Structure 1
């Protein structure tokens, strides 16, 4: 009787979904799906003709590649040529079979008459008149190509002045100048050395000539050089375990809170008197600088300097003759300046300055004059102006992407906008569709190709004028073959953050054989930002790992968290500052709980989470912070200890403490010879970021850690330290090392990782342990 009850109970568990069979075959099908063959092209890449708005483009569909010619002014589009005719004519010349669906043409260009197309097939050159349909073989490249003329010995390495009078180059890390007319060489510097070099390669030990970091002014009388001091920067090390004899590779790596970071200097050199001027760019300890020169001809020099705390910036102009520095304007932006959309554009030889700022809580463009005076606001409103696409200096207009402009919509989709440089903050939206728009303008700026889509909206390509009016529908993909595979678009949803107020946006992927009467474990794909989020913004068939993973038998979701994308307002994307480990965790848990309440097919007792890099960091933090909520996690290439990750990430997004101290010092007066006491200010920076290692003791669920052993971005030590902490805490976990893989997994190791992830979630969320018997990673395909 007891045996009968036990057997019945087991069957009941199986039938009610406690143990479900993972559909690895279906996942494999979607992972290996040939999207190029199924879908072909999903966007139009226009090739504009010289000095013209006309363009041609190629587009792949189920019947092969077709070529189109577009005349915006005539509002016309037609195929460039008849493919049957072209294949036959090419075959006559090459004496080879030609597939009309895959014409072997390359190097397409147009003559200035805008009707004669030139192209190559193998070594043959052709001209084709698109109006008359006449094809002519103009020559053959079978002749031995004429070798390029050898460069002058003196110009083998180095930078010529605009008037070709001088060449400047580096030898043994110092600068040398050669006067061309008489080959007289002058050594300009003597203080160059390895990692403090004037050469482009600061670690080259060769004494031969090398290119230098030189930029000439147009008058050829002077040039400037930027030099970095990296002598005190410490190194990280990786072992190439796949070489015939394992070798050690060393690379410089600055971590958050490091005492020694890169120091940057700027020098001016005068060619007439060989004078060197060190430009006084220094203001803050460990600052960074960026150089700017307006126009094609270098006549003026500007630089930005940013404080190490990432919250103060000066924009400065350099006098090329004296090296004098003038601060044109400054800005403070706490807790940090947004690096993703920051823009500085110099127009009209520096007389107009376009500056991007989040000073109002939303990113917008501002117009300054050449002396640093604010003239007007270019864009404004409770939305974000982002990527600058084009500047029309003649029409005094800028074109840029805007996010969150339509109230009530998901704020992540980019619309194309234009605004007057001399305007009052009013903008004109050119693309009304709720989607991610990508614009490619013609040289004149009168027209642009607009490719737009969402992950739940088929791609569309249209031609518009610069007022947003649609001129033509261009080629679009045929997704019939894709839908026939069982593929389905993800579904959008909106949630509330843990504060109960902030809207969060995301998508849900379901299996192709989804049955709403069944229940499914839920898996959250995460990336916490703050520079981006995991939400796909454009049409995507595989959506990273999400589409294939759902086929195993899961509902897979991804959504934003406070502290994520800068596409939203400043408060949203800086939410996690000072709390780099924990800030997104409550929102992820709260969002999954809402989805489980909303959809009865979600089993809230079986919750998984996974992510890569910052997502690997977050997924481990989540399962260790809420050990009774998350059942299983897969964390790949995670920066589990941000104290050994790069300086930019940790100090920008968590913060760095500036510690000042004052020290009395005795100095001798150079005139009187008397001693005097001065107080000297000392500045140092400290950083301490909470780690996942500190949470290891909390783990209850099933965690798989993955890293490539050659990751020079997030060093494998991050994963190894996490594994060590779990070992010392007596926890059971899985550790996967991918040989030879850097930060982004590729090829067979990437597929191995993906399948291991399926198996991990299959075991601990579906109760299917069949993968433990697989002796080959894809053994399920032969069952």
Structure 2
């Protein structure tokens, strides 16, 4: 049979298999059992009371707001910081009506589609994010509207969309006398009010233009910095929308989508003296191979301007400072890495008016810590934090008192090393003060005046408590809310088991969760399913109580419970290669994404099986979405002797096909053999076990062609598999959208057939 005919024959057979699913083998779960499991989240998620979300403070520190669970859903409250008097943050009914009208869909008052908001101005307007867009609603008339972003879009932050005009509104100087803008790709300055402009540059062109969105005035209005931009490669991903609403014929969608190895925009900082017209092109020797520059920021004294630099390949990060009088640049601080600088966890704060001191986050000793840097020489003045633990987030820097409030994990021996706690420390590293004593994961919101903090803490087995504390020493002021899960427990909810085992090195603790069926019988043998997300950018096993919704990368506990209730034990594990432990722990992923922590995961499974006879590791399945979809496929390609079946949703199966930002961070630049080593396309012939691929036709996060390239390679290798393409579906196609969700049911059906 020819290659083409063989593909057509296999494709036809596959389509038939998808249309005609075999019946369950008795005595497996019935269709009613599956539907009941799929509906579990909808049926249980409104049974809790007083589970609060992290607080948002008002700018004057007089009060804070939060969302909590109530009868029928969720409500927003405002609490007075002094009296703790509570009131509704707004009229939920009116807001729901007006938001419904603005969105063109029904919004229920107790199920508003956002989890937090901030007051704007005099507390008569609220601002929140909805569907990745900013919204504002006025509380006088409850008018709601989306906030248009006038800036030019950029593909993953590194390639400008030149089909959209830049925001070229005149940028007013701090003294209010002049305004700057771009005309014919060059920088011009004019007197306020539209007087005849003075052209400051003449070398701008369509292929090397001055970007008005990067204009930055010095505080004294004497200087200005702007970037001249050489455009990168404008790669577009094309997607056919086969069944668009309102029409019969397909529609073509196009998205600016830079991929690894593509040319990015090259930004050249240029400094101008406004009075003399002198132009200084900043020497690029200190930023020779930029992946990205931050927009310029002037120091308060106006004598220098700084910007952040990330090198292509993520091996170096710097703060570059430029003298306003001379245009001379120096590296105020430099971070070099043998593998990668973790760009998303960088923290920099320049102190004082001159930037002569800088607080900088660094992993140079193998753990993420804070350093006080001499901004003139780039040398370390002293360490602010130290130890075999991780600074997770900086909450606030008090320059006057020379103190830092921050979140960290791993300090408290004997507890989960992922639990976050709040601390305060002096700039010189002295007087480290713990502010959140409970053994739990803490989410802290510090008041703007740094006098109080709201501490929202929980564990997977401890319902959420929200407490008001003094920021100086963590001493308690009052309990704001205390979660009540009595009705949830009565419905059958049981917290998951936390389990640890040694990883591949025989020394490092690997942490995970175990979810068992509601009717679990320790005398029976249960097939095992692993919920995987192994992206190096975070850790993913839930640490907080809220068991519903979806984690960034997979189901939370209730989604796992729904699957377990069909007769499985479902687990989630953070193997090596993920974040929030040591640098060495995360570095396992460097140029090694196919690893996905599998040696640690398999060791963890075997350790649990050795303790629990009901844990049947002769029947192990796996599922995951996005990077978790890639890991799922790789489990069956590289560890097919252990994993027997997998559901891979919306996976980035070949990192050369995926977005530039995520993949160059972990696999480096230029594109090399490490990309092919992790490719599910290149290794498709190694498939063992049963595979179900699911993809949304309109996935804008991961190019859906990546899935179809795997399909092509599997057909070429004569491998059997299942495929579900959801017309119009996006990246979240595998996540539950209602009481009876088709895609979720298909996943459950697959595992029942494959493992039972």
TM-score if structure 2 supplies the norm length? 0.79
Residue of structure 2 in register with 1:26 after alignment: 36
Aligned partners of 2:591 and 2:667 also within 8 Å: yes
**Residue 748 (structure 1) shift:** 5.2
The CA distance in 1 between the partners of 2:720 and 2:538, in whole Å, is 32
Distance 1:175 1:744, change over 3 A: farther
The CA distance in 2 between the partners of 1:361 and 1:62, in whole Å, is 47
**Residue 686 (structure 1) shift:** 9.8
The CA distance in 2 between the partners of 1:108 and 1:503, in whole Å, is 40
Residue of structure 2 in register with 1:346 after alignment: 350
Aligned partners of 2:174 and 2:220 also within 8 Å: yes
Identify unmatched segments of 5+ residues in structure 1. Answer: 1-12, 88-100, 121-138, 144-154, 200-210, 660-684, 767-783
The CA distance in 1 between the partners of 2:210 and 2:370, in whole Å, is 36
Aligned partners of 2:29 and 2:566 also within 8 Å: no
Distance 1:219 1:79, change over 3 A: closer
Residue of structure 2 in register with 1:39 after alignment: 48
Q: Which of 522, 539, 549 is the aligned partner of 1:516?
A: 522
Q: Does the alignment pair 1:226 with 2:227?
A: yes
The CA distance in 2 between the partners of 1:81 and 1:712, in whole Å, is 37
Residue of structure 2 in register with 1:270 after alignment: 273
**Residue 321 (structure 1) shift:** 3.1
The CA distance in 2 between the partners of 1:652 and 1:182, in whole Å, is 45
Q: Which of 286, 293, 317 is the aligned partner of 1:289?
A: 293
**Residue 319 (structure 1) shift:** 1.3
Aligned partners of 1:109 and 1:118 also within 8 Å: yes
- 170-179 or 339-348, which moves further after superposition? 170-179
Q: Does the alignment pair 1:322 with 2:335?
A: no
Distance 1:537 1:196, change over 3 A: farther
Distance 1:555 1:298, change over 3 A: farther
The CA distance in 2 between the partners of 1:364 and 1:374, in whole Å, is 12
Q: Does the alignment pair 1:279 with 2:282?
A: yes
The CA distance in 2 between the partners of 1:109 and 1:653, in whole Å, is 38
Residue of structure 1 in register with 2:447 after alignment: 442
Aligned partners of 1:367 and 1:376 also within 8 Å: yes
The CA distance in 2 between the partners of 1:344 and 1:468, in whole Å, is 26
Q: Does the alignment pair 1:161 with 2:173?
A: yes
Q: Does the alignment pair 1:311 with 2:312?
A: no
Distance 1:630 1:46, change over 3 A: closer
Q: Does the alignment pair 1:585 with 2:598?
A: yes
The CA distance in 1 between the partners of 2:268 and 2:118, in whole Å, is 45
Aligned partners of 1:53 and 1:444 also within 8 Å: no
**Residue 326 (structure 1) shift:** 1.7
**Residue 578 (structure 1) shift:** 2.5
Residue of structure 1 in register with 2:336 after alignment: 332
- Structure 2 SS opposite 1:361: coil
Residue of structure 2 in register with 1:361 after alignment: 366
**Residue 744 (structure 1) shift:** 2.7
The CA distance in 1 between the partners of 2:546 and 2:283, in whole Å, is 50
Aligned partners of 1:168 and 1:212 also within 8 Å: no
- Structure 2 SS opposite 1:368: strand
**Residue 262 (structure 1) shift:** 2.8
**Residue 469 (structure 1) shift:** 0.9
Residue of structure 2 in register with 1:151 after alignment: none
**Residue 658 (structure 1) shift:** 9.7
Distance 1:458 1:726, change over 3 A: same
Residue of structure 1 in register with 2:420 after alignment: 414
**Residue 213 (structure 1) shift:** 2.6
**Residue 302 (structure 1) shift:** 1.2
**Residue 237 (structure 1) shift:** 2.4
Aligned partners of 1:654 and 1:689 also within 8 Å: no
Residue of structure 2 in register with 1:621 after alignment: 634
Q: Does the alignment pair 1:552 with 2:566?
A: yes
Residues 425-457 of structure 1 show CA distances to partners (whole Å, capped at 9, x for unaligned) of x62221122222111111210110000112222
Q: Does the alignment pair 1:754 with 2:713?
A: no
**Residue 762 (structure 1) shift:** 1.3
Aligned partners of 1:651 and 1:687 also within 8 Å: no
The CA distance in 2 between the partners of 1:40 and 1:555, in whole Å, is 28
**Residue 71 (structure 1) shift:** 5.7
Residue of structure 2 in register with 1:721 after alignment: 709
Residues 363-385 of structure 1 show CA distances to partners (whole Å, capped at 9, x for unaligned) of 11001233233221100111111
Q: After superposition, where does 1:530-541 map in structure 2 within 5 Å?
A: 530-541=536-547
Q: Does the alignment pair 1:644 with 2:657?
A: yes
Distance 1:402 1:102, change over 3 A: closer
**Residue 281 (structure 1) shift:** 2.9
Residues 277-330 of structure 1 show CA distances to partners (whole Å, capped at 9, x for unaligned) of 222234433453234536678663112333323223333210123321122343
Distance 1:140 1:493, change over 3 A: closer
Distance 1:610 1:168, change over 3 A: same
The CA distance in 2 between the partners of 1:219 and 1:695, in whole Å, is 60
Distance 1:409 1:340, change over 3 A: farther
Residue of structure 2 in register with 1:457 after alignment: 462
Distance 1:364 1:525, change over 3 A: same
- Structure 1 SS opposite 2:682: helix
Q: After superposition, where does 1:666-745 map in structure 2 within 5 Å?
A: 688-745=676-733
Residue of structure 1 in register with 2:85 after alignment: 78
The CA distance in 2 between the partners of 1:578 and 1:103, in whole Å, is 43
The CA distance in 2 between the partners of 1:747 and 1:27, in whole Å, is 11
**Residue 498 (structure 1) shift:** 2.6
Distance 1:38 1:108, change over 3 A: same
Distance 1:618 1:182, change over 3 A: closer
Coordinate RMSD, CA, aligned: 3.7
Q: Which of 479, 484, 490 is the aligned partner of 1:478?
A: 484
Aligned partners of 2:232 and 2:266 also within 8 Å: no
The CA distance in 2 between the partners of 1:384 and 1:505, in whole Å, is 16
TM-score if structure 1 supplies the norm length? 0.77
- Structure 2 SS opposite 1:474: strand
**Residue 50 (structure 1) shift:** 5.5
Aligned partners of 1:293 and 1:299 also within 8 Å: no
Residue of structure 1 in register with 2:616 after alignment: 603
Residue of structure 1 in register with 2:512 after alignment: 506
**Residue 586 (structure 1) shift:** 2.2
**Residue 611 (structure 1) shift:** 0.6
Q: After superposition, where does 1:56-95 map in structure 2 within 5 Å?
A: 59-62=68-71, 76-80=83-87
The CA distance in 2 between the partners of 1:418 and 1:521, in whole Å, is 47
- 747-756 or 272-281, which moves further after superposition? 747-756
Residue of structure 2 in register with 1:673 after alignment: none
Q: Which of 164, 170, 184 is the aligned partner of 2:182?
A: 170
The CA distance in 2 between the partners of 1:140 and 1:342, in whole Å, is 41
Residue of structure 1 in register with 2:384 after alignment: 378
- 359-368 or 165-174, which moves further after superposition? 165-174
Residue of structure 2 in register with 1:399 after alignment: 405
Distance 1:212 1:173, change over 3 A: farther
Identify unmatched segments of 5+ residues in structure 2. Answer: 1-23, 94-108, 127-138, 144-166
Residue of structure 1 in register with 2:13 after alignment: none
- Structure 1 SS opposite 2:481: coil
Distance 1:189 1:710, change over 3 A: farther
Residues 713-763 of structure 1 show CA distances to partners (whole Å, capped at 9, x for unaligned) of 321121111111111111111111122233233675993221211111011
Residue of structure 2 in register with 1:98 after alignment: none
Residue of structure 1 in register with 2:210 after alignment: 198
